[in-house]
């Protein structure tokens, strides 16, 4: 947890680092200072040792002087020995006893008569005795013997006096008479004062003071138990080296010690100060530890401060983090903490704010664009649906007549395209099929396609033949065609009874015919594509379909489809595919061809709209109804009325009721009279042909007349004022009656003349035997 | 009778009509009329109009009536379905005239 925050990490590492630095520095300093301290201690203690040595020496000198003087005095005057000794004792409290010991039986002994010995009692009083009287002889003792040799005086090893229960050390000085030692002045020196000197020293704690005699026995020691004992050999070794420098003692059992020593002049004694090494450094160490402690506390405070300050500085980062999380969630509206400083965090905050604002704008932009695209996509989808609705279904099988069957497939390259196909019954008998291809692709082509397909259907009834339809369609499309778009169109009109096909093409691909023979292209002359040349005309091609034959219309999306090697599908492959469809039987040839093309172009994708329309002719059908009347007359009024009568008779025998018959008669009269009276510019023996056919619910009449072109539908309608007397031009009524009375009226004109087709629908067809009206 | 024949008979008769006279065409026997026939009737009506007269049509047959309807040949008040209707109408007119002249006195 603590490691997660920059502040705590920083504080911790600063703490660690500072601590390390402080400790390292402290250790280094400690080492240096320790050196100094040691030197200092050496100097101090050395000086002290010297000083004490001198003092002891000074005090001892008094004794040695006294003894020597006494020896010198007593030699010539042995009788004075005892009082002298007595006085000396009194003046020198350090003396525990003083003796002048003569060699027994010597001259001096005899002269003195005694070996006086004065000693001090515990209470301080003096008593004297005669050593010669002692039960144990002294003259064999080592002290005496040694003493005899000490001409200049010498110190004897210490000993413990049994009688006085004291440790003493004696100083002997030989009494010389005539250059011969006759006795020894022996001073017994107590050592307590020595102990007292030690005690009174102002020495550092832990330091032990001692005095060692020439044998290495402790004469005095801070530890009284050690007095009289032998000092450690190492110590003696060290002291023996003689020089005054302090000595470092190490032993396996004890810590290292420093020993400062000073010889006590005049003796072979040494005064020493021993201190454990650690004691020397004790003070420094304490000081340093104290400093460390303070330092540690300071660092801790520093760390805490640092932590607090860093946290404060970093606080905006916490806010930024939170805001970043908000951004991730998508909320871009928020306020950032106020920036007081221009440091990194301040800059970060600024940058973050800018980023937030620009992100918000960017998102809004993206949302707008996405919505726009969505709208476009949905509009394209709708356009696609609308366009699909413009096309008739993919399969057509006439409910009443199974003479033919139709399959169609249209695949736009994009959602909407410029290809079209259409088919519809023009009238009871004739069936239009057409396939077209608008220049270009996409939306402009789709709009033009919609216009073309709608116009074609609207103009077809008026046009009455494929070539005329193309002409009319062309004229319409040339209007308002600034975009110079054009459409190629192949158009065929099928007689559903006979299987006769009339075709015209406006710059479109030649259709394919196959069935009994191998598939072959029907190449024929075409006119220009629609929309380019207002005056274009279109050659006609006629074809008779035999049973089992199929006519296939297509657009160049089939033949120009490309594979990944940029090779075109081409006409050969198409013909081969159709030839191979023999096995397919009744399957839809259009779908099979399209599937083959799609397989071919799979690597490259679809580049252009694809359309295929396949018309399969099964067999000719029986005439749906027999022709009732079929005659040709010379155009004269007489013949006209004759024809009218025959027509009426035929209808009557078919059981048509009088009302319908009258309508038919009136219409035919008007038309035929017109033909006779106005059909020719010059006197002419014109011919009028009439076909009368019955359908299930209508009478179909065809009138053919070889006169000049006259389209009754083009005549203006009369203004019916309600009184025929008002009307000036008399001929208008007839045509008006025709238009009203005929259910269906169609006009065409071609090289053979005018062709009128009329249809009279009647509600039901009565029985042949009924309603026979009296002849009119 | 064809329209031609009718015209031949009608034209001289028209010439003999007095001013403000009325022609009544009895169509009971006419079973069929075409535009030619319409023209003939139109001629009569025009002629009578110039004379400030009236042309009344009596009892047209179904086909004729249909044709009249389609072309709106005559105003409906000038077509009568029966003789009785016609007589009533004529009486009313006569009464009007008589009353009118009486008022003038």
Alpha-carbon gap, residue A649 to A646, rounded angstroms: 5
Strand partners of residue A172: A154, A186
Task: Flag whether A136 is in a domain.
Answer: yes
The Cα–Cα gap between A194 and A488 comes to 145
Q: Across residues A710-729, what is the average pLDDT?
A: 75
**Is A262 in contact with A244 (CB distance < 8 Å)?**
yes
**Number of residues that this document lists for chain B:** 105
Number of CB atoms found within 10 A of residue A72's CB: 13
Residue A773 falls within a domain, yes or no?
no
In a domain, A352, yes or no: no
User: CA A334 to CA A329: how far, in whole Å?
Assistant: 13
Average of pLDDT values for A589-594?
Answer: 90
Find the range with the poorest average confidence among A126-130, A207-211, A770-774, B53-57. A770-774
Q: What are the tens digits of pLDDT across the range A162-180? A: 776 777 888 888 888 888 8
Which DSSP string corresponds to A296-326?
Answer: HHHHHHHHHHHHHHHHHHHHHHHHHHHHHHH
Of the pLDDT bands very low, low, confident and very high (cuts 50, 70, 90), residue A375 is very high
Asked if A648 has any chain B CB less than 8 Å from its own CB, the reply is no
Measured distance CA(A708)–CA(A621) in Å, rounded: 35
Q: Inform me whether the pLDDT recorded for A579 exceeds 80.
A: yes
Q: What is the DSSP letter of A205?
A: T
Asked whether residue A430 falls in the same domain as residue A507, the answer is yes
Contact B41 A733 (CB under 8 A): no
Cβ(B62)–Cβ(B27) under 8 Å?
A: no
Q: A586 pLDDT band (50/70/90 cuts)?
A: low
Q: Is A149 part of a structural domain of the chain? A: yes
What is the extent of the structural domain holding B63? 3-104
Residue A464, φ and ψ in degrees, nearest 5: 70, -5
Q: What is the mean pLDDT of chain B?
A: 83
Where residue A692 falls (left for φ over 0; alpha for ψ -120 to 50; beta otherwise) is beta
Where is the domain boundary, A617, A647, A678? A617
Residues of A in contact with B72 (CB under 8 A): 720-724
Same domain, A24 and A79: yes
State residue A201 phi and psi, 5-degree precision: -70, 140
Contact between residue A474 and residue A454 where contact means Cβ atoms under 8 Å apart: no
CA B70, CA B65: separation in Å to the nearest integer? Answer: 9
Q: Find tokens 């110190």 and name the residue.
A: A155
Contact A101, A175 (CB under 8 A): no
Lateral strand order in the sheet of B54-58: B22-26, B54-58, B79-80
Is the complex ipTM more than 0.95? Answer: no
Mean pLDDT of B72-83: 84
Q: Looking at the partner chain, which of A662, A673, A736 has a beta carbon nearest the beta carbon of B63? A: A662
Q: Sheet of A610-617: strands edge to edge? A: A395-397, A404-411, A610-617, A550-554, A512-514, A520-521
The two three-digit tokens of residue B9, written as one number: 């008979």
Q: How far apart are CA A308 and CA A7, in angstroms?
A: 7
A426 φ, ψ to 5°?
Answer: -75, -45
List Cβ neighbours of A630 (8 Å cut-off, separation of 6 or more).
A690, A691, A692
Q: Flag whether pLDDT at A111 surpasses 80.
A: no
Sign for the pseudo-dihedral over CA of B98, B99, B103, B105: positive
% of chain B residues with pLDDT over 70: 92
d(CA A650, CA A693) in angstroms, rounded, equals 10
Quote the pLDDT of residue A746.
Answer: 83
| Residue A771: per-residue pLDDT | 45
Tokens representing A214? Answer: 């020439």
Q: Which residues of B touch A720 (CB under 8 A)?
A: 71-72
Whether pLDDT at A715 is above 60: yes
Give the CATH number of the domain where residue B64 resides. 3.30.750.24
Residue B1, pLDDT score: 65
Contacts of B42 in chain A (CB under 8 A): 724-725, 727, 730
Residue-wise pLDDT tens digits, A54-75: 888 888 888 888 888 888 888 7
**Number of residues that make up chain A:** 776
Q: Angle at the Cα of A45 (from A39 to A47), degrees rounded to 5?
A: 100
In a domain, residue A127? The reply is yes
Residues of B in contact with A666 (CB under 8 A): 32, 34, 63, 67
- Number of Cβ within 10 Å of residue A29's Cβ equals 13
Pick the residue of B29, B32, B35 with the most A CBs within 10 A to test the interface with A by mutation: B35
Please check whether residues A480 and A425 belong to one and the same domain: yes
SS3 state of residue B23:
strand
pLDDT tens sequence across A201-241 = 887 788 888 888 878 888 888 888 887 788 888 778 777 77
In this structure, of A64-68, A192-196, A492-496, the range with the lowest mean pLDDT score is A192-196
Residue among A669, A740, A776 whose CB faces B70 most closely: A740
Quote the percentage of chain A above a pLDDT of 90: 18
Residue A720 has pLDDT above 70, yes or no: yes
End-of-domain residue from the set A270, A300, A330: A300
**Interface subset of A 733-752, CB within 8 angstroms of B:** 733-734, 736-737, 740-741
Is residue A624's pLDDT more than 60? Answer: no
Confidence check: pLDDT of A596 > 80? yes
Question: CA-CA distance, A45 to A276, in Å (whole number)?
Answer: 13
Same domain? For A469 and A578 the reply is yes
Nearest to B67 among A722, A725, A737 (CB): A737
Interface probe, candidates A659, A725, A732, A760, chain B, greatest B C-beta count within 10 A? A725
Beta strands in A192-297 (DSSP E): 208-212, 218-221, 247-249, 257-263, 270-276
pLDDT at residue A400 tops 70: no
Of A300, A316, A350, the one marking the end of a domain is A300
A604 and A632 fall within a common domain? no
Return the CATH number at A532. Answer: 3.60.40.10
Band (A770; pLDDT cuts 50, 70, 90): very low
Residues A441 and A589 in one domain: yes
Count the alpha carbons within 13 Å of A664 in the hemisphere toward its beta carbon: 33
- For the segment A693-716, the average pLDDT, to the nearest whole number, is 82
The answer to whether A666 contacts chain B (CB < 8 Å) is yes
Quick one: pLDDT at residue A554?
A: 95
Residues in B lying within 8 Å of A, measured between beta carbons: 31-32, 34-36, 38-39, 41-42, 45-46, 49, 62-63, 66-67, 70-75
Cα–Cα distance between B59 and B45 in angstroms, integer? 17
Helix, strand, coil: what percent of chain A each, to 5? Answer: 45, 25, 30
Does A769 score more than 50 pLDDT? Answer: no
Rounded mean pLDDT of B96-104? 68
**Looking at residue A527, what DSSP letter applies?**
B
Q: Give the orientation angle of helix A344-390 with respect to helix A277-329, to 10 degrees.
A: 30
Q: Closest to B32 (Cβ–Cβ): which among A662, A673, A727?
A: A662
Alpha helices in A511-602 (DSSP H): 556-559, 570-579, 589-600
Whether A669 contacts chain B with CB within 8 A: yes
DSSP string, A360-385: HHHHHHHHHHHHHHHHHHHHHHHHHH
Please state, in angstroms and rounded to a whole number, the distance separating the CA atoms of residues A748 and A760.
18
What number of helices (H) and strands (E) belong to chain A? 16, 28
For the cut 70, the answer to whether the pLDDT of residue A756 exceeds it is yes
Q: Are residues A81 and A183 in the same domain?
A: yes
Q: What is the mean pLDDT of residues B58-67?
A: 90
pLDDT at A242: 60
Shared domain for A274 and A254, answered yes or no, is yes
Do A167 and A233 share a domain, yes or no?
Answer: yes
Q: Which chain A residues have a beta carbon less than 8 Å from that of B70?
A: 736-737, 740-741
Q: In terms of domains, do A608 and A694 share one? A: no
Q: Which residues of A touch B41 (CB under 8 A)?
A: 724
User: What's the mean per-residue pLDDT of chain A?
Assistant: 83
Number of domains in chain B: 1
Note whether B42 contacts A734, CB cutoff 8 Å: no
Looking at residue A475, its pLDDT comes to: 92
Q: What is the dihedral of CA A201, A261, A55, A151, to 10 degrees?
A: 150
Task: Kindly tell me if the per-residue pLDDT of A492 is higher than 90.
Answer: yes
Distance, CA of B96 to CA of B98 (rounded, Å): 5
Q: Which of B32, B70, B74 sits opposite A723 (nearest CB)?
A: B74
Give the range of the structural domain holding residue A265, as residue numbers without chain letter: 1-300
Residue A200, helix vs strand vs coil: coil
A661 located within any domain: yes
**d(CA B105, nearest CA chain A) in Å:** 36
Task: Kindly list the distances between the CA atom of residue A712 and the CA atoms of A475, A636, A754, B38, in Å, as whole numbers in the listed order.
Answer: 21, 19, 10, 19
Give dist(CA A598, CA A577) in Å, integer.
Answer: 12
User: CB–CB of A488/A445 below 8 Å?
Assistant: no
Both A551 and A603 in a single domain? yes
| Tens of pLDDT, residues A240-274 | 776 667 777 777 777 788 888 888 887 788 888 88
Judged by CB atoms within 8 Å, which residues 332-371 of A form the interface with B?
A: none
| In-domain check, residue A410 | yes
Mean pLDDT score, A448-475: 91
Q: What is the pLDDT of residue A458?
A: 92
pLDDT band at A1 (very low <50, low <70, confident <90, very high): very low
User: Mean per-residue pLDDT for A36-59?
Assistant: 85
What is the pLDDT confidence band of residue A768, given thresholds at 50, 70 and 90?
Answer: very low
Answer yes or no: are the C-beta atoms of A573 and A521 closer than 8 Å: no
Is residue A545 assigned to a domain?
yes
Closest to A575 (Cα-Cα) out of A507, A494, A509, A526: A509
pLDDT surpasses 60 at A774: no
Q: Answer whether residue A410 shows pLDDT above 90.
A: yes
Chain A residue with the nearest C-alpha to that of B43: A725
End-to-end CA distance of chain B: 48
DSSP letters of A158-172?
PEEETTTTEEEEEEE
| Residue for token pair 């003479």 | A403
The candidate with the shortest Cα–Cα distance to A110, out of A87, A132, A84, is A132
- Band the pLDDT of A625: cuts 50, 70, 90: low
Nearest to A435 by CA among A553, A571, A590, A532: A553
Query: What span, in angstroms and rounded, lies between the C-alpha atoms of A604 and A569?
Result: 12
Percent of chain A beyond pLDDT 70? 94
Residues A655 and A602 in one domain: no
Written in H, E and C, the secondary structure of A48-62 is HHHHHHHHHHHHHHH
Note the pLDDT tens digit of each residue in A646-688.
888 888 888 888 888 899 999 999 999 888 888 777 766 788 8
Structurally, how many domains does chain A consist of?
A: 3
d(CA A466, CA A511): 15
Q: Judge contact between A578 and A512, C-beta under 8 A.
A: yes
Question: pLDDT tens digit string along A318-369?
Answer: 888 888 888 888 777 777 777 777 788 788 888 888 888 898 899 899 999 9
Overall average pLDDT of the B19-28 stretch: 85
| Listed range (A373-382, A620-629, A631-640) with the worst mean pLDDT | A620-629
Please answer whether residues A231 and A215 qualify as being in contact, where contact means their C-beta atoms are separated by less than 8 angstroms: no
In which element (H, E) is residue A268 found? none
Q: Rounded to two decimals, what is the model's pTM?
A: 0.41
Question: What angle, rounded to 10 degrees, do the helices at A732-741 and B62-71 form?
Answer: 110
Inter-CA distances, A133 with A46, A137, A196, Å: 48, 8, 35
């Amino acid at each position: 947890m603590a490691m997660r925050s920059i502040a705590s990490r920083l504080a911790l590492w600063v703490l660690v680092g500072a601590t390390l630095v402080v400790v390292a520095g402290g250790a280094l300093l400690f080492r240096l200072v320790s050196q100094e301290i040691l030197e200092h201690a050496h100097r101090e203690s050395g000086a002290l040792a010297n000083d004490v040595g001198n003092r002891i020496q000074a005090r001892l000198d008094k004794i040695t002087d006294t003894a020597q003087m006494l020896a010198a005095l007593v030699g010539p005057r042995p009788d004075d020995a005892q009082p002298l000794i007595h006085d000396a004792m009194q003046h020198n409290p350090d003396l525990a006893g003083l003796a002048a010991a003569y060699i027994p039986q010597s001259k001096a002994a005899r002269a003195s008569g005694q070996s006086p010995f004065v000693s001090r009692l515990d209470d301080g009083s003096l008593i004297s005795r005669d050593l010669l009287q002692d039960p144990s002889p002294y003259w064999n003792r080592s002290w005496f013997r040694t003493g005899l040799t000490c001409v200049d005086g010498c110190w004897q090893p210490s000993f413990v006096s049994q009688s006085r229960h004291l440790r003493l050390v004696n100083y002997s000085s030989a009494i010389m008479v005539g250059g011969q030692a006759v006795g020894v002045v022996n001073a017994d020196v107590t050592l307590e004062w020595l102990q007292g000197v030690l005690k009174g020293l102002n020495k550092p704690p832990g330091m032990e003071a001692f005095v060692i005699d020439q044998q290495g026995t402790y004469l005095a020691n801070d530890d009284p138990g050690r007095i009289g004992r032998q000092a450690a050999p190492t110590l003696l070794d060290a002291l023996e080296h003689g020089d005054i420098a302090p000595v470092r003692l190490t032993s396996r059992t004890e810590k290292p010690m420093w020993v400062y020593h000073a010889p006590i002049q005049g003796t072979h004694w040494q005064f020493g100060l021993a201190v454990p090494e650690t004691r020397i450094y004790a003070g420094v160490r304490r000081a340093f530890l104290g400093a460390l402690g303070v330092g540690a506390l300071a660092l801790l405070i520093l760390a805490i401060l640092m932590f607090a300050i860093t946290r404060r500085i970093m606080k905006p980062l916490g806010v930024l983090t939170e805001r970043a999380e908000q951004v991730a969630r998508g909320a871009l509206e928020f306020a950032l903490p106020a920036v007081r400083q221009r440091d990194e965090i301040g800059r970060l905050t600024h940058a973050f704010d800018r980023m937030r604002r620009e992100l918000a704008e960017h998102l809004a932009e993206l949302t707008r664009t996405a919505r726009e695209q969505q709208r476009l996509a949905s509009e394209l989808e709708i356009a696609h649906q609308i366009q699909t609705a413009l096309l008739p279904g993919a399969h057509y099988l006439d409910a009443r007549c199974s003479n033919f069957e139709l399959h169609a497939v249209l695949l736009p390259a994009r959602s909407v395209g410029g290809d079209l196909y259409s088919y519809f019954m023009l009238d009871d008998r004739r069936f239009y099929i057409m396939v077209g291809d608008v220049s270009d692709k996409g939306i402009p082509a789709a709009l033009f396609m919609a216009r073309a397909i709608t116009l074609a259907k609207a103009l077809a009834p008026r046009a009455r033949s494929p070539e005329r339809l193309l002409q009319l369609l062309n004229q319409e499309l040339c209007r308002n065609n600034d975009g110079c778009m054009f459409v190629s169109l192949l158009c065929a009109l099928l007689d559903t009874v006979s299987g006769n096909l009339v075709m015209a093409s406006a710059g479109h691909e030649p259709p394919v015919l196959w069935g009994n023979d191998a598939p072959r292209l029907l190449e024929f002359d075409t006119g220009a594509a629609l929309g380019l040349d207002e005056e274009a005309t279109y050659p006609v091609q006629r074809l008779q379909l035999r049973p089992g034959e199929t006519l296939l219309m297509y657009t160049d999306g089939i033949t120009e489809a490309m594979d990944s090697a940029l090779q075109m599908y081409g006409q050969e492959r198409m013909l081969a595919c159709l030839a191979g469809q023999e096995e397919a039987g009744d399957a839809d040839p259009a779908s099979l061809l399209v599937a083959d093309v799609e397989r071919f172009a799979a690597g490259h994708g679809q580049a252009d709209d694809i359309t295929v329309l396949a018309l399969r002719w099964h067999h000719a059908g029986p005439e749906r109804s027999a022709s009732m009347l079929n005659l040709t007359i010379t155009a004269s009024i007489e013949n006209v009325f004759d024809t009218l009568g025959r027509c009426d008779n035929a209808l009557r025998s078919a059981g048509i009721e009088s009302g319908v018959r009258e309508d038919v008669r009136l219409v035919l009269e008007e038309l035929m009279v017109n033909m006779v009276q106005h059909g020719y510019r010059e006197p002419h023996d014109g011919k009028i042909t009439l076909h009368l056919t019955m359908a299930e619910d209508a009478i179909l009449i065809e009138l053919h007349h070889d006169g000049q072109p006259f389209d009754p539908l083009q005549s203006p309608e009369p203004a019916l004022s309600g009184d025929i007397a008002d009307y000036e031009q008399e001929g208008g009524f007839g045509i008006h009656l025709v238009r009203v009375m005929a259910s269906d009226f169609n006009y065409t004109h071609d090289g053979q003349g005018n062709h009128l087709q009329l249809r009279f629908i009647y509600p039901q067809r009565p029985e042949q035997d009924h309603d026979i009206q009296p002849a009119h | 009778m064809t329209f031609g024949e009718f015209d031949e008979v009608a034209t001289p008769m028209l010439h003999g009509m007095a001013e403000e006279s009325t022609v009544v065409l009895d169509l009971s026997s006419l079973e069929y009329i075409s535009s030619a026939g319409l023209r003939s009737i139109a001629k009569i009506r025009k002629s009578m109009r110039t004379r400030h007269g009236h042309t009344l049509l009596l009892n047209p047959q179904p086909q004729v009536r249909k044709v009249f309807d389609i072309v709106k040949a005559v105003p409906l008040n000038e077509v009568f379905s029966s003789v009785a209707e016609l007589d009533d109408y004529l009486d009313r007119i006569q009464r009007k005239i008589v009353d009118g002249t009486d008022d003038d006195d």
